Structure 1
Amino acid sequence: MSFPLGRASVYEVDVVPASLTQERQWFLQKFEGNVSSVYNFQTGLRFRGRFSVRALADALTELVNRHEILRTTFGHESGTLVQYIHPRPPAVPLHHVELDDVSDDALRCWIRGMLQRPFDQENGPLFSAHLVPLADDDHVLVLFFDHLVCDAWSLRVLHNELTTLYLAAEEQGSGERSRLAGVLPELPIQYGDYAAWQRESMSGETGERQLDFWRRRLTHPPRSLDLSPASRRPARRTGNTFIGSLHHSTVAELEALTRRHGASLFTGLLTVYAILLHRYSGQEDFVTGTLVDNRTRQEFEPLVGLFTNTVALRFDASGAPTFREMLRRVREVWFDAHEHQEVPYDWVVKELRPARGLGRQPFFDVMMQYADVDREVVRRGELQMEAIESDFGPAPVDLILGVVKNGGWLTACWDYAPELFDADGIRRMHDHYTRLLASSVTTPDRGIGELEMLTEPEQSLILRRWCPDADGLDDVLGCPGLELGGSRALILDSRNHLVPAGVPGRLFVAGSLRPNACPDTFEVVDDPGIRALFSLIDGETVYSTQRYCRWSAEGRICSLTDSGHPESRAASQALPGGGSGPGGAPGVASGAMSELEWAIGDIWREVLNRDVVEPDDDFFDLGGHSLAATQVINRLDRDFDIEVPISLVFEYSELGSFVRALVELERAKSRPGGHR
């Protein structure tokens, strides 16, 4: 395999194109308004016993000399994102940090704070090293990275190489750092070579073949999963994490079951997650996302850099499959996605242009990831080196289930947007996942809709307290003068099973119906299973309503639309489109363009290769996409010295509304207290 690398050199700085993966990451970070901390990475080493600051500094310097990506910054040339590879430094800064509180909790708090600090991608550096002494014989090295230069696989590479280099530096003694260059095998290529190869590979038959697969798989995608009880979606998300345990013996049983069906443990865990999403949403056709390493060649494995790609997994839960059958379906979906993982996710989005809303990702807002973070504890004489817990910024989607393997044990890390989910709801979700996991391995031939999900305390709470209270029933039914003697209420899914708080279902009521009620709202239920749930007494009847509802966390019945969405969900958030500027002002009529509209319209015309752009033209209807939006923002910065968040193009996608939003943004900056 050849790796073409065309490099230009400017003032001893090599210039190479950014990888396609970096282009997408650059866009995502600029979409957040130049606040890149949401995508920062962190890892590190803990040194217990005899420790040499000099050896660590030498090892870090050799690491940066070895990997060009760690001395790379970014910029644009001729509208294209490029990497500037800087010369090898004589030494890498090692920042010394003194904490007033040297407890592990205080260290974690400091790390979380540092993760919120964005890097300067244009001026660098895009990684930093910090040494935190906790005691005379206890030191912690913490490394922070911008995601543009690092991914999860890279953290494993860095750990292995850094421990090897440190031990070699300690043995060699002072003034012998030049000899560290031969400690590790020479790298076959650098990340810049990969970037050039990726662009060439994806521009040919391989890229088109893989893109065609995604066209077939994701054309006419299903609606996004709505798992949150929140009625409005935020334009920006923050992040919280809940960590729960997975029972070791249950995981072992699942792994044995999946192996018998030619599948991996990850596939089994993903199947349980798919079942959970199906049961929560009621959807039989839905899409989730996951990350793939995308290191499809042996030459890529020892490199540090951003290789990770996102793939969309479209699942089919129709036909009441058993767990075994669902496992087979998920295995096929994962295998196909893995075989076509090289095409950049952004290309798929650009090609298919799925409908999307502000605060939503294309195709999915829910993901699952699996990470093996087992790291060998290195012992040499009086020294012990071990990896510290890695951390990342908040998730850019609604919900991510991350299953982490460490020390032979699995932990479930639920990263979620607190604007959409509360902590109690996520804890319940974890309990439901573990319940489904246990039920799947004990009764794999049972239909996925019949697998046990609710805990016994939940069932008792619903049947004994929420059902007889029927709090909110009158408001939901909306029938004034309604008389339903001894009324009780339950919410059931499509298979007539109880649903937990926050999960939509159909409303059923029981009692003695009075003549002045609303007869067209009710239908008598004869199903013995449903009737048994209500523990009926003489003279009482169970009725099915046409209402979709959910339980609140406090046991109140909340009404939803017929599709199972909260009634107040704003349809006006759908994109592309939007068409109204700040305050809802209408678009400027064709032929009445202002001077500013003409100037910005010229940028749109050039970027989108259009002859004419009118004030009411939509950026995405004209063929715009995320990378084109990035080019528009870069042109505004270059031609007008205006810094604009990329999100503005998505929020105000018509030219007229975009210009008015831009003007208002600049006015806000010029007011007292505004920021330039």
Structure 2
Amino acid sequence: MTKHYPPLVALGESNAAGVRQSFAQSRLWFLHQMAPERAQHNIVTRMTLSGVPLDAARLEQALNAVCQRHSVLRSCYRTTADGQEQWVPAAFRFHLETLDLTPLPPQSRDSALQQYMRDDLAKAFDLERGPVWRASLVDIDAQRQELIITLHHIAFDGRSGEILLLDLMHAYAEPPSGVASPAPLQYGDFAAWEPHYMTPTLIAEEVAFWRDHLAGMPVQLAFADRPRPAGPAKAGRHAVALPADLVERLKKAARAQRQPLFVLLATLFNVWLRYVSGQSRFLVGTDVHGRDLPELADIFGFFVNQLTLTCELADDTTLAELLVQTRHSIRQAHAHRQLPFDLLVSHLAPQRQADRSPLFQVKFNYQRDRFCSHTFGDARITHTQVLQDLAGFDLVLDLMHRRDEIEATLEYNQHLFGAEEIERLSAVWLHLLDHLDGLLDQPIEALCEHLQRWNDAHLHQQQSQQARQSRTRLASTVRRTVSL
């Protein structure tokens, strides 16, 4: 069915007088007001630069030019008698922080950088006063710098990262002679347009679908025998790389089953969750871009929506059959992806817990690398990294497809999982991917038995390695004692 969109028009200077917050922004604004000291919706983007160092003054000028081009980077947030608003202050000046780590011993600089990034990730923004982003240029040595940009999710999404990098590199290469020209359309224009498309009638239709679609599904994914302490989750991260040969085999298997790679990877993640949690029916979240209207493609702001996927893994269902079921579930959900997640939650009203995401507590995301450029000024971009908080989730698997490889980052709640356990469970997931060809005709029950055997084998390997390390430390201690 072809969607019919009302026209999207530029509001011009009226943005500065105040415009409604989008549905997506309203959810984050509500959560911010509940706990303004929390930084759960911060996103840290890191770019490693080698070669000719960037000029800090010129970079700050470029950052200000980007601010002038995209008003959402200058916006502040408030609640008025007319509702929740975003507004742009008349005067704004962005300041670039600089940090010099060269006085530190070379072996200590990377750990100091990682600590700086963790601290920046945990530093809350004041959304009422702004700004909603900050940037730092870190000197590591004469040939290496790190550009650290931290933004609040209320003004930023994945596509915005591409726009930010492209506009920033352009402004740095060609510094504006005067005030930078704004983009033709701004996020405030979208926020004002949104209720003309997302009408009460459309909302009612979409809510009716989701109410029926999610009926009877558990809205909590409980991990067996894991007590859940009160308070916010403490995030841990475990990163692994899927090598090019494995990725090629996965793509070949997906083609043979006539399925997209996303469906294959999502299905295997669901099987892994079935084993880890012990539940056969649960919900998993995934992010969708929310930019269906062509005019939205190059607007900087927060468009991403969260989509709820149903997962039902009966013991006698084969993996090949589950692939078909998963694709059907994903297609159904995507056909109704336009309903903002906060509206879905408010209408279905599941039982809320202060520090848990509603409907689903696990997310799966797969995307292509957004950093398409390899140069910045006269420097080369040799590495990129994105960090963000768990934001109420227990597990988040992010897959970033870079050229021929896939970088997998598993973020987890340290109140529920230990680092060694996550390392082991991650290895079990990799075994599942690596042995895919021989598993397609096997039922879920048999797959879980395979996962258990792989888990036991890896646990034995971990215990043996720890025993060897203990014997080595003991022998070293004895030698030192004897030498005295």
| 1:373-412 pair list within 5 angstroms | 373=369, 375-379=371-375, 382-386=378-382, 388-412=384-408
Once the two structures are superposed, residues 615-637 of structure 1 have per-residue CA deviations (whole angstroms, 9 ceiling, x without a partner) of: xxxxxxxxxxxxxxxxxxxxxxx
Contact between 1:431 and 1:455, CA under 8 Å: does it hold in 2? no
Asked if 2 retains the 8 angstrom alpha-carbon contact of 1:288 and 1:364, the reply is yes
Equivalent pair of 2:65/2:179 in contact (CA under 8 Å): no
- Determine which of 27, 34, 41 is the counterpart of 1:39: 41
What residue in structure 2 maps to residue 2 of structure 1? 7
SS at match of 1:389: strand
- Percent identity over the alignment is 26
Contact 2:428-2:454 at 8 Å conserved across structures: no
Cα drift, residue 45 of structure 1:
3.7
- CA spacing shift, 1:44–1:443, aligned 2, 3 Å: closer
**Where does structure 2 lack aligned partners over 5 or more consecutive residues?**
1-5, 464-484
Are 2:71 and 1:81 aligned? no
CA distance in 2, matches of 1:6, 1:377: 32
Change (3 A) 1:301 1:387: farther
Q: CA deviation at 1:357?
A: 4.1
What one-letter code is carried by the residue in structure 2 that aligns with 1:125?
A: P
Rounded to whole Å, the distance in 1 between the matches of 2:458 and 2:384 is 42
> 2:470 aligns to what?
none
CA distance in 2, matches of 1:126, 1:421: 32
Instruction: Give the match's secondary structure for 2:327.
Output: helix
Q: Shift in Å at residue 260 of structure 1?
A: 3.7
Alignment of 1:279-298 (within 5 A): 279-298=275-294
The structural deviation recorded for 1:3 is 2.1
Using a 3 Å threshold, how does the CA distance of structure 1 residues 307 and 377 change in structure 2: closer, same or farther? closer
- Residue 340 (structure 2) pairs with residue 344 (structure 1): yes
Aligned residue among 440, 444, 447 for 2:440: 444
What is the 5 A alignment of 1:497-516?
A: none
- Pairwise CA distance, 1:247: 4.4
Higher relative contact order, structure no. (Cα contacts within 8 Å, ≥ 6 residues apart): 2
Question: Given the alignment of the two structures, is residue 214 of structure 1 paired with residue 210 of structure 2, yes or no?
Answer: yes
Cα 1:301–1:7 change in 2 (3 A) is closer
Q: Residues of 1 paired with 2:73 and 2:320: CA distance?
A: 45
TM-score of the superposed pair, with normalisation by structure 2: 0.85
Counterpart of 2:50 in structure 1 is: 48
Is 1:114 the counterpart of 2:110 in the alignment? no
The answer to whether 1:94 aligns with 2:90 is: no
In the other structure, the counterpart of 1:58 is 61
Q: CA RMSD in A?
A: 2.7
Structure 1 residue 386: deviation in Å?
A: 4.8
Residues matched between the structures, number: 449
From 168, 183, 188, the counterpart of 1:192: 188
1:283-338 deviation digits (Å, cap 9, x = unpaired): 33211111211111121121221111111111122262211111111111112222
* Residue range with higher mean Cα deviation, 42-51 or 153-162: 42-51
Question: Which residue does the alignment assign to 1:177?
Answer: 177
Per-residue deviation, 1:228: 5.1
Deviation at 1:187, TM superposition (A): 3.6
Q: Which residue of 1 aligns with 2:27?
A: 24
- CA contact 1:73–1:83 (8 Å) conserved in 2: yes
Given the alignment, which residue of 232, 238, 241 partners 1:242? 238
Post-superposition Cα deviations, 1:374-406, rounded to whole Å, max 9, x if no partner, equal: 524434895334553221124421111222223
Quote how far apart the aligned CAs of 1:212 are: 2.2
Residues 1:152 and 2:158 aligned together: yes
What whole-Å deviation, never above 9, does each CA across 1:484-540 have from its counterpart, x for those lacking one?
A: xxxxxxxxxxxxxxxxxxxxxxxxxxxxxxxxxxxxxxxxxxxxxxxxxxxxxxxxx
Give the helix-richer structure, 1 or 2. Answer: 2
CA shift digits 1:156-181 (9 cap, x unpaired):
22112222222223xxxxxx533864
Deviations 1:347-377 (A, max 9, x none): 1111112234454332221121223335244
Specify the structure having the higher radius of gyration (Cα): 1
| Conserved 8 A contact 1:377-1:387 | no
Give per-residue Cα distances to partners, 1:464-493, cap 9 Å, x unaligned: x9xxxxxxxxxxxxxxxxxxxxxxxxxxxx
Match of 2:130 in 1: 124
Contact residue 308 and residue 360 of structure 2 kept, 8 A: yes
The partner residue of 1:104 within 104, 110, 113 is 110
Report the counterpart of residue 479 of structure 2 in structure 1: none
